[in-house]
Amino acid sequence: MSALFEPFTLRSLTIPNRVWMAPMCQYSADVSGPDTGVANDWHFSHYTSRAAGGTGLILVEATAVSPEGRISPADLGIWNDTQTEAFRRITSFLKGQGTVPGIQIAHAGRKASTDRPWRGGAPVGPGEHGWQPVAPSPLPFNDGHPVPDELTTGQIAEIVGQFADAARRARAAGFEVVEVHGAHGYLIGEFLSPHTNHRTDAYGGSYENRTRFALEVVDAVRAVWPGELPVFFRISATDWLTENAEDDRTGWTADDTVRFAADLLAHGVDLLDVSSGGNAPRVRIPTGPGYQVPFAERVRTGTGLPVAAVGEITEARQAEKIVEDGQADAVLLGRELLRNPYFARHAARELGGEVGSPQQYHRAA
């Protein structure tokens, strides 16, 4: 059997194959009124089409734990009952197709309150349904971005509670995997990196202090998430600062990621979703096919924590080799699944694997 189409079990949950959908924001929720942050027909169509295409696990896009935690006013949220109920329609359909439904819960930190990317992605203010961002330290993300408010220790504790509440709601909505978003320069990643965390209290300075908030979030989520179901964590393996010889800024590194992966494993995380970048603007990243896979492999080899690899994975045989060679336990596809919702079905045909087929499509099975 193709390695890419072998089932994968974490705790009591078995995922039917190793072709997974990465969380990708759609910026398509209502921005005001009672349906703010609520999944709608666009989200239903977007996710269910990939399930019909044979994708083994679908991670729903970064879903905010609070209104202030959204990247944009048009982001999804999971801080109220209306949002929770809307997700049930999606999770029910996904499970009906044999796909495992997962969700990424997130807080955008200093990168919050921005416009949709196809409208430029610039910061938006209260007149455009925006708000004042918060962060570990009062450092703007980029030129033209507002200086975020520095979080107090009381506010940090409140956000930890919001992550726990979001995980509880996610389970009520029917999700079977919850992923904590610690990547791409959003709030948790901002605490991790010395580039964005200039605090002098218990949440800043040393490695132990900078990782404190992330581990508190993980512990809070793990405490309310069923013990038989897995918790994922998404991380930027590097800020790409120390890898740029001309850049003297200090950031989070690949060595930090391996060290932190061991901590996450000890705190009950079941899989690390390994990405990179996003915490610093104007950084040169040497992209190319599979360019982030070595980071995932380092974690898997160094800690034994299962990993999923991302980053310009576009071909069936490329994905097969990543799993077959033990570089990662699964691949998370992003742009390729936007281009081709039926990637898994096509890859199975090419590699001799098997995926379930909707009964309505039996003629083409």
Where is 64: in which H helix or E strand?
A: strand 57-64
Let me know if 144 is exposed, middle or buried by CB neighbors in 10 A (0-12, 13-18, 19+).
Answer: exposed
Q: Give the Cα separation of 334 and 62 in Å (integer).
A: 13
Which residues are CB-neighbours of 334 under 8 A, at least 6 positions away? 21, 22, 24, 310
CA quadruple 319, 327, 63, 11: dihedral sign: positive
Rg (CA), the chain: 19
Q: Give the Cα separation of 218 and 157 in Å (integer).
A: 13
Q: Give the Cα separation of 75 and 28 in Å (integer).
A: 7
Examine the residue annotation and report whether 186 is marked as an active-site residue of this protein: yes
Please say whether the beta carbons of 147 and 140 come within 8 A. yes
The DSSP line for 234-286 is EEES--SSTTSTT-------HHHHHHHHHHHHHTT--EEEEE---SSSS----
Residue with tokens 């898997």: 300
Residue of 47, 186, 203, 207 marked catalytic = 186
Active site positions, annotated: 186
